[in-house]
Structure 1
Amino acid sequence: MDNQIGRQIFELRKEQQITQQQLAEFLNVTKASVSKWENGQSYPDITLLPLIASYFNQSIDNLLGYSQLSKKEIENIYRRLKKELSKKPKETLQRIRQMIKRYWSCYDFVFSMASLLMNHLSVLDEDSAEIEGECLSYLLHVFKNTDELSIKNQAKMLLGSIWIERGETSKVFELFGGKAPTINADEMIIAAALQRESRFAEAESVLQITLYQYLIIQLNIFGSYLSLPNLSKERINQTIGFAEGLIETFKIETFHPMIVLMLRLSLAQMFVAEQPEKALNQLEKFAELFEQTNFPIHLKGNGYFNKVDVWFDDLLLGDQTPRDTMLVKEDLIQGVIANSSFESLAEQPRFKAVIEILLRGEKNDKSK
Structure 2
Amino acid sequence: MREINIASVIVAKRKEKGLTQDALADYMGVTKASVSKWETAQSYPDITLLPQLATFFNISIDELMGYMPQMTADDIKRTYQKLSLDFSEKPFDAVYDSCQLIIKKYFACFPLLLKMALLLINHSMLTNGLERQADVIKEAISLCERVRTESDDVWLVKQANSYEALGQLMVNEPIMVIDRLEDTIKPLMADEMTLSYAYQQLGQTEKSKNVLQVSIYQHLLTILGFAPLYFQLVAGDPQKFEEALERFIKLAKLFDVDRLNQNIMAQLYYAAAQIQAMAGNIESGLSLIEAYTEVCIAIKFPLEMKGDHFFDSIDGWLKELLDSEGVPRSEKVIKESMLIGLTQNPAFSMMKDDIRFKQCIYKINDYIGGKSHG
Separation in 2 of the partners of 1:258 and 1:348? Answer: 25
User: Residue 196 of structure 1: CA displacement?
Assistant: 2.0
| Cα deviation, residue 237, structure 1 | 1.4
Match 1:70 to one of 69, 72, 84: 72
2:143 alignment partner, SS class: helix
- AA partner of residue 132 (structure 1): I
1:79 corresponds to which residue?
81
Q: Partner of 1:330 in structure 2?
A: 336
State the AA in 1 paired with 2:70: Q
State TM-score, norm by structure 2.
Answer: 0.75
CA contact (8 A) 1:280 1:351 kept: yes
Which 10-residue stretch deviates more, 299-308 or 262-271? 299-308
- Number of the residue aligned with 1:262: 267
Q: How far apart are residue 83 of structure 1 and its match?
A: 0.9
Relative to structure 1, is the Cα distance of residues 358 and 137 closer, same or farther in structure 2, using a 3 angstrom cutoff? Answer: same
Farther-moved stretch of structure 1 (276-285 vs 119-128): 119-128
Query: Which amino acid in 2 is paired with 1:340?
Result: P
Report if the CA contact (8 A) 2:235-2:241 is conserved: no
Distance apart, 1:257 and its partner CA: 0.5
The structure having more radius of gyration, on CA atoms, is 2
Structure 2 residue aligned with 1:282: 288
Spell out, residue by residue over 1:111-146, the C-alpha distance to the aligned partner (whole angstroms, 9 max, x if none). Answer: 011101110113345822221121111001111223
In the alignment, structure 1 segments of 5+ residues that lack a partner are: 1-41, 47-58
Hey, what does 2:223 align to over in structure 1?
A: 218
- TM-score, scaled relative to structure 1: 0.76
Q: Which runs of 5+ in 2 are unaligned?
A: 1-45, 51-59
**How far apart are 1:95 and its partner, in Å?**
2.1
2-structure distance, mates of 1:282, 1:44: 69
Does 343-352 or 261-270 show the bigger shift?
Answer: 343-352
Residues 1:108 and 2:111 are matched in the alignment: yes
Which residue does 1:310 correspond to in 2?
316
Partner of 1:176: 181
Taking structure 1 as reference, are residues 109 and 178 closer, same or farther at Cα in structure 2, changes over 3 Å only? closer
Name the counterpart of 1:190: 195
Change over 3 Å in CA distance of 1:186–1:112 after alignment to 2: same
Contact conserved, 2:307 with 2:313, CA < 8 A, in 1? yes
Is the CA contact 1:71–1:317 (under 8 Å) kept in the aligned structure 2?
Answer: no
> Which of 343, 353, 360 is equivalent to 2:359?
353
Among 112, 116, 120, the residue aligned to 1:117: 120
RMSD: 2.8
Q: Distance in 2 between matches of 1:129 and 1:174?
A: 20
Query: Taking every aligned residue pair, what percent have the same amino acid on both sides?
Result: 24
Q: 1:224 to 1:156 in 2, by over 3 A?
A: same
Contact 2:234–2:241 (Cα < 8 Å) also in 1 = no
Task: State how far apart, in whole Å, the 2-side matches of 1:289 and 1:359 are.
Answer: 14
Distance 1:241 1:257, change over 3 A: same
